[in-house]
Amino acid sequence: MSAVFRLFIALSVCLALAPASFAAQQVVVDKIVAQVNGEVITLFELNEKVKIYTTQVEKRAFNPADPAIADLQARILKTMVDDILLKQEATRLKVVVSDTEVDSRIREMREKGGLSDEQFNQQLRLEGMTRKEFASAIKKDILKKQLLGYMVQRKVVVTEEEVKNFYEGNKTGMKVETGQRIGLIMLGKMDEAKALRQRIASGQISFADAARKFSVGPGAAQGGDLGKVELKDLAPELRQALQNVNAGGVSEPVLLDGKPVLLTIASDTTAKAAPAPVGPPPYESVRDEIFERIYKEKLEKQFADYMEKLRSKSVIKINL
C-alpha cells in the first residue's frame, strides 16, 4: 500500500469537510464553540468529531473526563474552523469538486495499488474506515489543490536533485516496514470457513495454499499476504480474532463486511523464507515515496501560508 494511501487513512476524520450548516434548534440548545464569518460550530458537533477521531484513529475508548481530550478538542476545532473557511472560499470562487473527480482520484490510487474495487473497500475496512470517509478526505485534498491553483502563483516544484539529496541524507534511517505479517482468507459462507480452518489447523493444507485456492479477498494471489501490519491499526473485530493466535496459527472465523475471514500471523520460519533486506533500500524503490513526501511538505507550507492569510481577513470567534 502506498504511503499516500496510508496517510489518507490515518487523517481521514480530520480531513473531512465540516457540515455546511446546523439546525436552528440545535444552535439554541447546544453551546456554540466557534463562529466563522457568522457560521457556527457547536459543542455537540465538535465532540462527535473528537469521539470518532479517538476511536477510529487513536484506537482507544472515548473518555470525556480524560485530561488529554481538551487539547484534542482544541486541535480538531481548529481543523473544523479551517474546513469552514475553505468551504466559504470555495463558494466565493465558485470552486466545485464533483463526485466524478473524487471517484477518478480514488480509481487512480486503487489501480496504482493493484486492487479491485472490492479489494480496495475491504482494505479500507481492515484499516477501520468507510469508503465515504476516505472519499471525504480525497475531496478536501482536491479542493485544497484547486484553491492553491487559484490563489498561489508559484507552483510546487520538486527536482531530482532534491529527492537524491534527501535519500543520501536519510537512507541510513530508512528501514523495512514494521509490524507483523498478516494473512487473510475471505470466504462466502461461515460453514466453508469453519471447515477450511480445520483443514489448515490439522496441517492438511497450508494457509497460503488455501488462500490461493479459496479466498475471494485481498491478497489471494499472494497467499492471502497483506504485508506487515501493526495490529493496533486493524479493525477491532480482526484485532480481537488475532488476540490468542500464535505465530503460524489460524484464527476462528470472524465476519468482515458480512463475509467470514480467517487470519494468520506469519511464523518465524515464514519470515526466514523471505528475509528482510540488509541496509538501506535501493534509491529506485523509494524514489517516488520521497518525491511525494517533499512535494507534500512544500504544498502544505504554501497552504499554511494561504490559510493564515484567509484567517487574518475573516471574523473568527472561539468560545471553547
pLDDT mean for each 10 residues of the chain (320 residues)? 44 41 44 94 90 75 82 91 90 88 88 78 77 87 80 76 92 67 88 90 88 82 79 80 86 85 74 53 85 86 86 93
So what's the pLDDT on residue 4? 41
Looking at the fold, whether 128 and 190 belong to one and the same domain comes out as no
So what's the pLDDT on residue 164? 93
Amino acid at 230: E
Nearest to 256 by CA among 185, 154, 150: 185
Backbone angles phi, psi at 92, to 5 degrees: -60, -40
Kindly state the DSSP code that residue 123 receives in the 8-state scheme.
Answer: H
Looking at the fold, whether 61 and 205 belong to one and the same domain comes out as no
Amino acid at 268: D
Q: Report the alpha-carbon distance of residue 260 to residue 122 in Å, rounded.
A: 12
So what's the pLDDT on residue 13? 40
Nearest to 127 by CA among 234, 1, 257: 234
C-alpha cell at position 299: 504544498
So what's the pLDDT on residue 274? 46
Sign of CA dihedral 95, 100, 106, 109: negative
Looking at the fold, whether 135 and 195 belong to one and the same domain comes out as no
Residue written as grid cell 480452518: 197
- Tell whether 247 is covered by a domain: yes
Looking at the fold, whether 239 and 312 belong to one and the same domain comes out as no
Query: Is residue 153 packed enough to be buried (19+ CB in 10 Å), middle (13-18) or exposed (0-12)?
Result: exposed
So what's the pLDDT on residue 272? 42
**Number of independent structural domains in the chain:** 2
Looking at the fold, whether 269 and 292 belong to one and the same domain comes out as no
Q: Report the alpha-carbon distance of residue 202 to residue 240 in Å, rounded.
A: 23
So what's the pLDDT on residue 177? 53
Are 291 and 158 spatial neighbours (Cβ–Cβ below 8 Å)? yes
**CATH code, domain carrying 152:** 1.10.4030.10
C-alpha cell at position 120: 480496495
- Tell whether 161 is covered by a domain: no
Residue written as grid cell 447546544: 30
- Tally the C-alpha atoms within 13 A of residue 259's C-alpha that lie toward its C-beta: 18
Q: Report the alpha-carbon distance of residue 253 to residue 261 in Å, rounded.
A: 5
Q: Report the alpha-carbon distance of residue 110 to residue 105 in Å, rounded.
A: 9
Looking at the fold, whether 33 and 123 belong to one and the same domain comes out as yes
**CATH code, domain carrying 212:** 3.10.50.40
Backbone angles phi, psi at 293, to 5 degrees: -65, -50
So what's the pLDDT on residue 318? 94
So what's the pLDDT on residue 23? 38
Task: Output the CA angle 166-292-231, nearest 5 degrees.
Answer: 100
Looking at the fold, whether 16 and 64 belong to one and the same domain comes out as yes
Query: Residue 219, SS3?
Result: coil
Looking at the fold, whether 53 and 110 belong to one and the same domain comes out as yes
- Tell whether 172 is covered by a domain: no
Looking at the fold, whether 52 and 197 belong to one and the same domain comes out as no
- Cα dist from 248 to 44, 184, 257, 293, 306, whole Å: 46, 12, 25, 35, 52
So what's the pLDDT on residue 131? 87
Looking at the fold, whether 145 and 64 belong to one and the same domain comes out as yes
Q: Which domain covers residue 242, as residue numbers?
A: 180-273
